[in-house]
Amino acid sequence: MPTRTYLEAIRDGIREELLRDPTVLVLGQDVGTYGGAFRVTSGLLDEFGPERIVDAPVSESAIVGMSVGAAMNGMRPVAEMQFIDFLTCGFNQVVNMAAKCRYRWNAGVPLVIRGPCGGGVHGGPFHSQNVESHYLSTPGLKIVEPATARDAKGLIKAAIRDPDPVLFFEHKFLYRRVREDLGEDDPVVPIGKAEVCRTGTDLSVVTFGACVHTALEAADALEDDGISMEVLDLRTLLPIDREALIASARRTNRIVLYHEAQRTGGIGAELSAILAEEAFEWLDAPLVRVTAPDTPVPYSPPLEERFLPGAEDLRAAARRLVSY
C-alpha cells in the first residue's frame, strides 16, 4: 500500500471495518454523495450503498440520537460531526444516554462519534475548538485523538470494534499534512495505551494529537540547548494511561503538560492532579502547563497564531523547568 495521509488512514480503517462487519454503518451530514465535509468518507457510498452510508439531516442531536438507537439494536454506527464543536448539540444523548447504558442495565452502545477538532486553519471560534474537557468527566465514554496516520487507522478500527461509545477526535491540521507508509498489515491500536514517541532524560512533555508534532519539533530544537526532552503521546484521553504517565515522571523527574485547548479545566489539570497524587516523590520541579489562553479561538490569522501554544512556547517552558 502506498503512503497514506492521516485522512486517508481514517477512511481506510472505516472501509476495512465496513467490509469486515456488516453491522457497521456510517451516517452524518453529507457523508454520502459529497464524501464528508473534509472528504473522509469519499467513495464509500459507491462501494457500500445508501443503506450503510447514510446522509442525515442537518441536526447533530438527531444524528447522535439515531446512532444511539441503532447501536442499541445491534448495529455499529460511525457518526460524523462536520466539526466536533457541534457535538454539544447532542450532548444529552452522549452523556445521559450512550454513556450510562452500560451502568444502568449492562447494555453496550457500540457507537463511534468522530469529527475534526482544533485550530490552525483560521476556522474561527465555532469551528476550531478542542472539546475533550467537556466529556472527560463522563463515566462510560472513551475518548481518543491520534497524532499519526498509523494510529489514526489503528484507533478508528479499535473504536468501531469497542462495545461501548467512543469519541474519536481528528485534528484537522493533520488531515493532509501527515502521511505514513502503513504497509499491508491490519493495525489495531489498543485504546487506553500511550506511546513514547521520543525518549529523553531531562524532562517529559505529555501531549496528544497535533501537539505531538509540535513537541517533536521543540525537542529537536532543544537538543541545541543540551536539553533532552521525552515526548509521551497519550493517544487515548479517557481512560488516561496512568502507568505510562507516572513512568515518564519517574524517568525524567520534570513534566510539561501540553495541549491546544484552553487552560482552565483542561486535561492538563487532570494530568497534573494524577502526577501530584501518585508521582510527587519523583518530581524535582513544579508541574508546568503549556496551553491556549482562556478565550475563544480567534478567526484572525495573526491572533490565532498568537493564541495557539507553539514550539517556542514549549521550548521556553522546558528551559525554565530544567533550570529550576
What pLDDT score was predicted for residue 182? 87
Q: What percent of the chain has pLDDT over 90?
A: 97
- Work out the angle at residue 176's Cα, subtended by the Cα atoms of residues 207 and 37, and round it to the nearest 5 degrees: 100
Considering only CA atoms, give the Rg of the chain. Answer: 19
Q: How confident is the model at residue 296 (pLDDT cuts 50, 70, 90)?
A: very high
Map grid coordinates 500511550 to a residue.
Answer: 194
Contact between 194 and 235 under an 8 Å Cβ cutoff? The reply is: yes
What pLDDT score was predicted for residue 187? 82
Whether pLDDT at 219 is above 60 = yes
Contact between 164 and 108 under an 8 Å Cβ cutoff? The reply is: yes
User: For residue 78, what are the CA distances in angstroms to 91, 210, 220?
Assistant: 17, 22, 37
All CATH 3.40.50.920 domain ranges in the chain, comma separated: 195-322
Model confidence over 57-80: pLDDT tens digits? 999 999 999 999 999 999 999 999
Contact between 245 and 275 under an 8 Å Cβ cutoff? The reply is: yes
Contact between 152 and 159 under an 8 Å Cβ cutoff? The reply is: no
Q: In CATH terms, is domain 195-322 a member of 3.40.50.920?
A: yes
Q: Measured between alpha carbons, how far apart are the two ends of the chain, in Å?
A: 48
pTM above 0.85, yes or no: yes
State residue 266 phi and psi, 5-degree precision: -75, 175
Question: Which residues are CB-neighbours of 179 under 8 A, at least 6 positions away?
Answer: 3, 4, 5, 6, 149
Model confidence over 173-198: pLDDT tens digits? 999 999 998 877 778 999 999 999 99
What pLDDT score was predicted for residue 183? 79
What pLDDT score was predicted for residue 1? 55
Whether pLDDT at 273 is above 80 = yes
Q: What percent of the chain has pLDDT over 70?
A: 100
What pLDDT score was predicted for residue 266? 97
Q: How confident is the model at residue 306 (pLDDT cuts 50, 70, 90)?
A: very high
* Mean pLDDT confidence for 258-282: 97
State residue 80 phi and psi, 5-degree precision: -100, 130
Whether pLDDT at 263 is above 80 = yes
Q: Concatenated DSSP letters for 270-307?
A: HHHHHHHHHSGGG-SS--EEEEE-SSPPPSSHHHHHHH
For domain 4-180, give its CATH number from 1.10.760.10, 3.40.50.970, 3.30.1360.30, 3.90.650.10. Answer: 3.40.50.970
What pLDDT score was predicted for residue 214? 98
Contact between 60 and 86 under an 8 Å Cβ cutoff? The reply is: yes
What pLDDT score was predicted for residue 71? 97
Model confidence over 83-126: pLDDT tens digits? 999 999 999 999 999 999 999 999 999 999 999 999 999 999 99
- Work out the angle at residue 120's Cα, subtended by the Cα atoms of residues 288 and 148, and round it to the nearest 5 degrees: 75
Active-site annotation holder among 127, 134, 171, 213: 127
Map grid coordinates 442495565 to a residue.
Answer: 105
Q: How confident is the model at residue 49 (pLDDT cuts 50, 70, 90)?
A: very high
Residue 127 is among the residues annotated as catalytic for this protein: yes
All CATH 3.40.50.970 domain ranges in the chain, comma separated: 4-180
Whether pLDDT at 300 is above 90 = yes
Listing from the earlier edge strand, what are the strands of the sheet with 255-262?
A: 195-198, 229-233, 203-207, 255-262, 288-292
What pLDDT score was predicted for residue 2? 74
Q: Can you tell me whether residue 184 is helix, strand or coil?
A: coil
Q: Concatenated DSSP letters for 102-154?
A: HHHH------EEEEEE--SS---TTSS---HHHHTT-TT-EEE---SHHHHHH
Mean pLDDT of the residues in the chain? 96
Q: Can you tell me whether residue 170 is helix, strand or coil?
A: strand
